[in-house]
Amino acid sequence: MELFHRVLDGDLMEATERQGMEDHRVVCSECAEKTAQLREMQDLLRGMAEQPMPDDAVDEVWDRTVRAPRGRTQRGWRDWRFAAAAAIIVFATWIGVKQFPVINGTGPDDEAMRAAQEVRMVLQLTANALKRSQEVAFREVFAEEVSPALQKVGILWPRTSRERGGDEGQI
Amino acid sequence: MKETDYESVVAMYKDRVHSYAMTILRNPAEAQDTAQEALIRLWEHRASVPVEGARPWLMRTTHNLCIDHIRRGKVRSEIGNGEEVVDARPDSAPGPQRLAESGDLRRLIDRALDALSPDDRAVIVMREVQALPYGEIAAALEMPLGTLKARLHRARERLRARLYRAGVTP
């Protein structure tokens, strides 16, 4: 029977094998009958109609694939970006703690120290800004615009360091 | 695989996938769910599945989903492995032509297929019903070619005996 299956499979290519099988089938009615049954079965199975997928089931496939809103994918990308950003922040914080254990301590004293440092930094920046604005005010307003008018009435305002040249302002 | 390719592949193979699931599971609702799942999985994996590999991929996925269903016990499955093959049938066998005329042919073939084990049914359906090439079947069922052919011969023999006893084959 093995040979008959090979015939059905198209595997029996050698002419001598095919002829040998045909000769056997002529003399062996059992093999001839089984081969006929196998061929009949193959024809019946090949002739079985497909069972079509119902239209509503196909529609559902389209709805969940090509027709699905792309927001899901975009949201997934956004979620991924947020997750990545969060991971970077956590990593950077961890690196910072490892590199600057005193400044980045987590106890109450460390927190107070950090707050004091921040306050000092703000005060320093404020002082710098005031100093700068004072210099600008004296140079741009009093020395070049207001002072000449005041000079007419005999009042001298302090000049800028550039204009002073060693003289003292006089009222 | 591009989106337009996916649409073409689904249009081309949806009925094949559904028929296969139906023949293996013998349950319309489960077969429909399984076919849908396979097609949706193809969409999810479309970036890595080329168009020419879509059919083997779908058949393998559908088969695996069917086997998962069966293993989870969701579908009643009659095990036919190891049963005796006896060529005995009633004298008044109707024959395929009369059965086809009466509409019983398909029912009897389905019943004979039901009696096979899911693995035997898989090779019979892929090879004899869907006429898939051996290489594709071996890939789908993840078995060597020699094992596949041996299984197919055995499954054919069992099915032939059943169809003979039912009077379907002469």
Residue B107 lies in a domain: yes
The percent of residues in chain A predicted with pLDDT above 90, rounded, is 8
Residue A75 clears pLDDT 70, i.e. is over it: no
Residue B84 clears pLDDT 50, i.e. is over it: no
Q: Whole-number mean pLDDT of chain A? A: 71
Facing B15 at nearest CB: one of A40, A42, A52 = A52
Residue B7 with chain A: CB contacts under 8 Å: 66
B58 contacts B17 by C-beta, under 8 angstroms: yes
- Alpha-carbon span A31 to A37, nearest angstrom: 10
* pLDDT value, residue B34: 95
Q: How confident is the model at residue A81 (pLDDT cuts 50, 70, 90)?
A: low
Residue B44 lies in a domain: yes
Same domain assignment for residues B11 and B56: yes
Residue B86 lies in a domain: no
B89 contacts B48 by C-beta, under 8 angstroms: no
Which of B5, B153, B162 is best to mutate for the A interface (most A CBs within 10 A)? B153
Residue B15 lies in a domain: yes
Residue A34 with chain B: CB contacts under 8 Å: 160
The predicted-structure confidence for B102-132, as pLDDT tens digits, reads as follows 567 778 888 888 888 888 999 999 998 888 9
Residue A4 clears pLDDT 70, i.e. is over it: no
Report the Cα–Cα distance between both ends of chain B, in Å, rounded: 47
Q: How confident is the model at residue B144 (pLDDT cuts 50, 70, 90)?
A: very high
Non-local (6+) Cβ contacts of A96 within 8 A are A104
Which of A41, A43, A46 is best to mutate for the B interface (most B CBs within 10 A)? A41
CA nearest to B7 within chain A: A66
Which of B71, B105, B122 corresponds to the end of one domain? B71
Non-local (6+) Cβ contacts of B126 within 8 A are B20, B59, B132, B136, B137, B140, B141
Domain at B155, CATH number:
1.10.10.10
Q: How confident is the model at residue B80 (pLDDT cuts 50, 70, 90)?
A: very low
* pLDDT value, residue A63: 92
Residue B61 lies in a domain: yes
- Alpha-carbon span A121 to A123, nearest angstrom: 5
A48 contacts B129 by C-beta, under 8 angstroms: yes
Task: Judge: B22–A51 Cβ closer than 8 Å, yes or no.
Answer: yes
Non-local (6+) Cβ contacts of B110 within 8 A are B23, B26
Residue B129 with chain A: CB contacts under 8 Å: 45-46, 48
Q: Which residue has the higher pLDDT, B126 or B96?
A: B126
Q: Whole-number mean pLDDT of chain B? A: 82
Rounded alpha-carbon distances, angstroms, from residue A41 to A12, A83, B97, B128, B157: 19, 59, 13, 9, 10
- If we measure between CA atoms, which residue out of B60, B152, B168, B164 comes closest to residue A9? B152
Please tell me the pTM assigned to this model: 0.59
* pLDDT value, residue B57: 93
Q: Which residue has the higher pLDDT, A48 or A99?
A: A48
What is the arithmetic mean of pLDDT over A33-43?
A: 81
Residue A55 in contact with partner chain B when CB distance is under 8 A: no
Residue A81 in contact with partner chain B when CB distance is under 8 A: no
Same domain assignment for residues B52 and B100: no
Which of B16, B39, B126, B137 is best to mutate for the A interface (most A CBs within 10 A)? B39
What is the arithmetic mean of pLDDT over A141-156?
A: 55
- If we measure between CA atoms, which residue out of B162, B143, B161 comes closest to residue B151? B143
Facing A42 at nearest CB: one of B128, B134, B153 = B128
Q: Which residue has the higher pLDDT, A88 or A144?
A: A88
Residue B84 lies in a domain: no
Which of B71, B104, B122 corresponds to the end of one domain? B71
What is the arithmetic mean of pLDDT over A82-107?
A: 68
Same domain assignment for residues B104 and B159: yes
Q: Which residue has the higher pLDDT, B53 or A100?
A: B53
Non-local (6+) Cβ contacts of B61 within 8 A are B38, B41, B42
Non-local (6+) Cβ contacts of B16 within 8 A are A50, B55, B58, B59, B130
Domain at B36, CATH number:
1.10.1740
Total of domains in chain B: 2
Residue A5 with chain B: CB contacts under 8 Å: 149, 152-153, 156
> Torsion over CA of B45, B49, B53 and B54, rounded to 10 degrees?
40
Q: How confident is the model at residue A2 (pLDDT cuts 50, 70, 90)?
A: low
* pLDDT value, residue A100: 61
Task: Judge: B106–A48 Cβ closer than 8 Å, yes or no.
Answer: yes
Residue B79 lies in a domain: no
Residue B97 with chain A: CB contacts under 8 Å: none
CB atoms within 10 A of CB A171: 8
Residue B20 clears pLDDT 50, i.e. is over it: yes
In which domain, by residue range, is B154 found?
96-165
Residue B57 lies in a domain: yes
